[in-house]
Amino acid sequence: MSHIEILRAGVLTTCQDAGRPGWGHLAVPPSGAADRPSWRLANQLAGNPTGACALETTLNGCTVKAHRNVTVVVGGAPCAVTVDGRPESWGQPVKLKAGSVLDAGSAEVGVRSYLAFSGGLHPKSSLGSHSTCLLSGLGPAPLQDGDTIPLGPSPAHPPLPTQWPAPWAGIGDEIVMKLHLGPRLEWFRPAAVAELTRGVWTVSEHSNRIGLRLEGPTLKRADPGAELPSEGIAAGALQVPPNGQPILFGADHPTTGGYPVIGVVGPEAQAAAAQARPGTRIRFVPIPMPHWSRRS
Amino acid sequence: MSTGRTTAAPRLRPLPAGPRGILIDCGTTAAARACYRSLQSRRMSGLLEAEDLVPGATTVLVDGVDEPELLAAELPGWPLADEPESAGEVVEIPVCYDGPDLDAVAALWGVRPEDVADIHSGFEYEAAFCGFSPGFAYLEGLPERYHVPRRESPRTTVPAGSLGVAGPYSGVYPRTSPGGWQLIATMTNPGRLWNEHREPAALLVPGTRVRFAAVRV
């Protein structure tokens, strides 16, 4: 059976595809690649159909050995790429011969690199997805040194030509995100919106695929004693626990929660958040609640 | 079949939940349940396209909608069908009332520890919504006089199968995890709660009715 072998799993390397959306009513997080655009592009460059399963690394990359000839694209967070010790291209299709070893080094900027293999990866699936979910434990466990993962049949589409550019917007030390206010804006003091407009938060070290913990100005509730009955959490939700330090939820977010969500960021900001290292500054541009929610 | 009775919506309040989501605040648990069923049937008949419908205690989140404003505009006038009596079959869950917080809960209830089993298993429950972990359902049905607070400090490890109570809810932990509910019993076969190879994977889905059967070990 043709497969790849993980020689060095790094801090955290997981299998990720499009995840398992649509099961929120059964407490199943959506999961899937945290930086969707980078994952999608890496798959396209490898000639894979949309939705193929790839490796997602965290900060310090990973090392894999190919057990058959396979094309691989390393995308997402830029990093040094070597094959059998020789430098190779990041962001372009690289041909690996059976027995070759590819190393994706530490991320130079950002957090998560994606390794897309032609044919895609086929680890165990649950509820139709190969994605590892850190919160629920669904899908394959995070990878360990020595693990092997089956490869799918080579795709019908050949990999794109190597001169194809692989743009990556990248992120700097500061990310500015549009924050769509609501659903629970009214749970906060009126000053909270001003605070959101002016404030700068820093990504804490206690951040992962479940969410980014942000440190900065405290978002104060109107009634600190009030309890919110558990309610569904949207993708990209900015939830505010009692200490007032917000959590920006990521791909493996809980499906329900009992702390108010002050605003929600869209897919673009969710992808940027997935590449935000600890220490990255985050600012918000609050988008007012739509007119239909303001009557009454 | 249902009697077809409908009541005016108690006032479904649409709240924005991002560029593609709406959180419908239904006011009460019963309204949330009716709203969820209504959304489900609309989705099934192709009147609503949404990626996820997530019921909460008194809300339903509709996520992954292309034009949330259209749904929001419809909601205030929505008639909600009354729930048909005895909607589904009752799932029986055998449990042994031997939890580590049994004495504490008995004290809060003002009863003897040996009476907790009869009291708790004497009511019928209904899965109001799921959350926390795949296979976990928030079960309603305990009368208010038996509502107890969570433990002051949550346990770092609650064994799979533990039946806990907190506020209006009862719930069984499908896998070992941290947890703050007061544990009064243990389900004999917690593997039933979640099985990926079964459709649906969860034994308890929103709307499932539940009875606990006290067993002695």
Full set of structural domains in chain B with CATH: 6-81 (3.30.1360.40), 90-214 (2.40.100.10)
pLDDT above 60 for B86: no
What are the chain B neighbours of A21 within 8 Å (beta carbons)? 51-52, 64
Compute the average pLDDT of residues B7-29: 86
Cα distance between the two ends of chain A: 63
Task: Assess B21–A contact: CB distance below 8 Å, yes or no.
Answer: yes
CB-CB contact of B50 with B18 (8 Å):
no
Residue in chain B closest to A25 (alpha carbons) equals: B54
Angle of helix A36-45 relative to helix A267-274, nearest 10 degrees, comes to 80
Q: Name which of B19, B25, B69 is nearest A292 (Cβ-Cβ).
A: B69
Q: Which residues of B touch A139 (CB under 8 A)?
A: none
pLDDT at B9: 47
Within 8 A of B67 by CB-CB distance, chain A residues are none
pLDDT of residue A171: 78
- Does A210 touch chain B if contact means CB atoms closer than 8 Å? no
What DSSP letter does each residue of A135-192 carry, written as one string? TT--SSPPP-TT-EEEBPPPPSSPPPPTT---------SEEEEEEEE-SSGGGB-THH
Tell me if A234 and B57 make a contact (CB, 8 A cut-off): no
| Average pLDDT score over residue span B182-208 | 95
Contact B54 A24 (CB under 8 A): yes
Question: How much is the average pLDDT of B168-185?
Answer: 95
Nearest CA in chain A to B168: A229
B13 touches chain A (CB under 8 A): yes
Query: pLDDT tens digits for B126-136?
Result: 999 999 999 99
CATH of the domain spanning A174-293: 2.40.100.10
What pLDDT is attached to residue A168?
A: 66
Kindly report the CA angle at B67 between A231 and A294, in degrees rounded to 5? 65
B19:A266 CB<8 A: yes
Q: What is the pLDDT of residues B50-82, one digit of tens each?
A: 999 999 999 999 999 999 999 999 887 787 766
Q: What is the ipTM of this complex?
A: 0.93
A137 has a chain B CB within 8 A of its CB: yes
What does the pLDDT profile of chain A (296 residues) look like in tens digits? 599 999 999 999 999 999 999 999 999 999 999 999 999 999 988 989 889 999 999 999 999 999 999 999 999 999 999 999 999 999 999 999 999 999 999 999 999 999 999 999 999 999 999 999 999 999 999 999 999 999 998 876 666 655 555 566 667 899 999 999 999 999 999 999 999 999 999 999 999 999 999 999 999 999 988 989 999 999 999 999 999 999 999 999 999 999 999 999 999 999 999 999 999 999 999 999 998 887 55
Is A141 an 8 Å CB contact of chain B? no
Q: Inform me whether the C-beta atom of residue B67 falls under 8 Å from chain A C-beta atoms.
A: no
Does B63 reach chain A within 8 Å, measured CB to CB?
Answer: yes
Q: Does B69 reach chain A within 8 Å, measured CB to CB?
A: yes
**Which of A27, A233, A266 is facing B130, going by the closest CB pair?**
A27
Q: Which chain B residues are within 8 Å of A289, Cβ to Cβ? A: 16
Pick among B53, B71, B130 to test the A interface (most A CBs inside 10 A): B130
How much is the mean pLDDT over chain B? Answer: 90
- Determine the distance in angstroms separating the CA of A16 from the nearest CA of chain B, rounded to an integer: 18
Q: Please say whether the beta carbons of A204 and A212 come within 8 A.
A: yes
Chain B residues touching A184 at Cβ < 8 A: 15
Task: Give B131's Cβ-side CA count (13 Å radius).
Answer: 24
DSSP string, chain A: --EEEEEE--S--EEESS--TT-GGGT----S-SSHHHHHHHHHHTTPPTT--EEE--SS-EEEEESS-EEEEEEES-EEEEETTEEE-SSS-EEE-TT-EEEEEEESSSS-EEEEETT-B----BTTB----TTT--SSPPP-TT-EEEBPPPPSSPPPPTT---------SEEEEEEEE-SSGGGB-THHHHHHHH--EEE-SS--SSEEEEESS---BS-TT--PPPEE--TTEEE--TTS--EEE-TT--SEESS-EEEEE-HHHHHHHHT--TT-EEEEEEEPPPGGGT--
Q: How many residues does chain B have?
A: 217
On chain A, the residues whose CB falls within 8 A of the CB of B23 are 182-183, 231-232, 234
Q: Is A123 on the interface with B (CB under 8 A)?
A: no
With a threshold of 0.90, does the pTM exceed it? Answer: yes
Find chain B residues with C-beta within 8 A of A134's C-beta: none
Chain B partners within 8 Å of A264 (Cβ): 16-19, 21
**Chain B partners of A266 at a C-beta cutoff of 8 Å?**
18-20
Cite the residue boundaries of each domain of chain A with CATH code 2.40.100.10: 174-293
The confidence score (pLDDT) of residue B78 equals 80
- How distant is the Cα of B103 from the closest Cα of chain A, in angstroms? 27
pLDDT of residue B1: 37
CA angle (A220 as vertex; A218, A226 as ends), nearest 5 = 135
Which residue out of A26, A239, A253, A270 would a mutagenesis test of the B interface target, given it has the greatest number of B Cβ atoms within 10 Å? A26
pLDDT, residue B4, reads: 41
Nearest of B171, B198, B200 to residue B187 by alpha carbon: B171
Residue among A243, A200, A238 nearest A221 (CA): A243
Per-residue confidence (pLDDT) for residue B3, from 0 to 100? 40
